[in-house]
Amino acid sequence: MSPRRGPLVRFADGAIASVLITFLLAGLPQSPMACSCYETESQMPLADFRALAPSIFLAQVIDVHGPFMIPEGTNSFRFEHDRWFRMRTVASWKGDVPDTVVVRTGSGGGNCGYAFAVGGLYLVYAWGEGDSVRTGICSRTRPWTSAHEDSMGLGKPEVDRTGGRGWIAFAPPLTCPVHVGTPVRRDRSAVIYGMPGASERRYRALAAKEFPYASIQLEIARADSARTGGAEAYICAACQERAMKWCIRQPHARVSSGWTTDDIQGPTAPR
């Protein structure tokens, strides 16, 4: 089966990625409502899975898009079940994996989606090569903390961007580096819809220094046509509140995922 070209996805920094969807994994169902891993896949030895997967890499999740409703004519929508996770590559053992890669997976609920958390570090076994690949729960994809056997068995990476640091240096910290003493916890991200591209770029520039663990999901879909509920993410509450105060002041931005305007009013956010 030849790859099917998916919709364009605009990420938070304004980049455009055209996602190629491939269903090359035996036993990875195409139905969004059911997932069944063959026993030989879920229990496959590392050596066998290494031979099977076209791309193997260690990467940190930067941001996410989806799932959401996609307009198809007047008052008609189709539901896009997948999420697109943009990741920064730390090391790669197989495949032509660039510095930044888009990993597509289901959103869960029976469609084989892997529950990546924004900010988390993962060893990814993916299908496809280049800047757009796909994975799911039928693969050996796992958090770095569960990848000891793999790290030993895979050996030295073909491309190493660690700079000699251990994997733990790329994992989310226990406390926020900006808001000292504030814990970084795993929770659901907030979602902002409809923020203009120029505001997105300003947000990304501010986020690195002012609120690195805000983990806000920026979507281009309208709030009333989108599925509410953000992805899993590593979040500093102080970062997220400060970022939301900035976002809500941007033209056309709309808030979802349980936040209200009353929750995020105040003068403390950077302009």
Residue 40 is predicted with a pLDDT of 47
* Boundaries of domain holding 240: 184-264
Both 141 and 228 in one domain: the answer is no
Residue 7 is predicted with a pLDDT of 33
Both 38 and 132 in one domain: the answer is yes
Assess if residue 270 is contained within a domain: no
Assess if residue 29 is contained within a domain: yes
pLDDT band at 153 (very low <50, low <70, confident <90, very high): very high
Domain tally, the chain: 2
Assess if residue 179 is contained within a domain: no
pLDDT tens-digit profile of 155-176? 999 999 999 999 999 999 999 9
Both 110 and 214 in one domain: the answer is no
Both 30 and 164 in one domain: the answer is yes
Assess if residue 178 is contained within a domain: no
Least reliable range by pLDDT among 45-49, 59-63, 104-108, 126-130? 104-108
Q: Looking at 170, 202, 217, which one is the last position of a domain?
A: 170
Q: What percent of the chain has pLDDT over 70?
A: 68
| pLDDT exceeds 50 at position 4 | no
Q: Looking at 121, 137, 170, which one is the last position of a domain?
A: 170
Both 161 and 204 in one domain: the answer is no
Least reliable range by pLDDT among 6-15, 26-35, 42-51, 71-80? 6-15
CATH of the domain at 127: 2.40.50.120
Of 170, 108, 175, give the one whose Cα is nearest residue 145. 170
| pLDDT exceeds 60 at position 58 | yes
Of 208, 57, 236, give the one whose Cα is nearest residue 130. 57
Q: Across the chain, what does the average pLDDT equal?
A: 77
Taking residue 233's Cβ as centre, other Cβ atoms within 10 Å add up to 27
**Dihedral angle sign, alpha carbons of residues 6, 24, 159, 120:** positive
Residue 178 is predicted with a pLDDT of 95
Residue 83 is predicted with a pLDDT of 87
In 107-236, which ranges are continuous DSSP H helix? Answer: 148-154, 197-210
Q: Give the pairing type, strands 132-134 and 159-160.
A: unpaired
pLDDT tens-digit profile of 95-143? 999 999 999 998 766 678 898 999 999 999 999 888 999 999 888 999 9
